[in-house]
């Protein structure tokens, strides 16, 4: 994707619409997929994924990540509806939260430089 051309998705967060773009990055600790979002103005919005280092990921770890449903209400529906990622059906527990595992379509994500 051209660096000047960004694809924005509408994400309703607590009743307010945000237009965000998704950028694929990697966590520095273990190089797993991290998905950062930015608003149209270029401000960071949220990180959609969580890095649970002691949990194994499903087969294709380059495309797979645990999604932060604890801090981002509606993120699962957002990812599915926009065909950005699909749930694997697997969940992991961390503290008091349970996080679903998703396989991402990397073509829907911008690559970080």
DSSP string, 43-97: -EEEE-EE--TTS---S-TTTEEEE-TTTSTTHHHHHHHTTSEEEEEEEEEETTE
Task: Give dist(CA 64, CA 85) in Å, integer.
Answer: 9
pLDDT at 66: 95
Res 1: pLDDT: 41
Sign of CA pseudo-dihedral 15, 16, 21, 26: negative
Write down the pLDDT at residue 2.
Answer: 40
Model confidence band, residue 30 (pLDDT cutoffs 50, 70, 90): confident
What does the mean pLDDT of the chain come to? 90
């Amino acid at each position: 994707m051209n660096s000047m051309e960004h694809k924005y998705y509408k994400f309703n967060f607590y009743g307010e619409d945000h237009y965000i773009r998704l950028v694929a990055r990697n966590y520095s600790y273990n190089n797993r997929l991290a998905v950062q979002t930015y608003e149209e103005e270029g401000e960071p919005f949220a990180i959609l994924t969580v890095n649970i280092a002691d949990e194994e990921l499903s087969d294709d770890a380059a495309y797979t990540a645990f999604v932060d449903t604890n801090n981002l209400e509606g993120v699962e529906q957002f990812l599915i509806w926009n065909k950005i990622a699909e749930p694997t059906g697997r969940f992991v527990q961390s503290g008091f939260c349970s996080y679903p595992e998703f396989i991402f379509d990397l073509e829907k994500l911008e690559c970080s430089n």
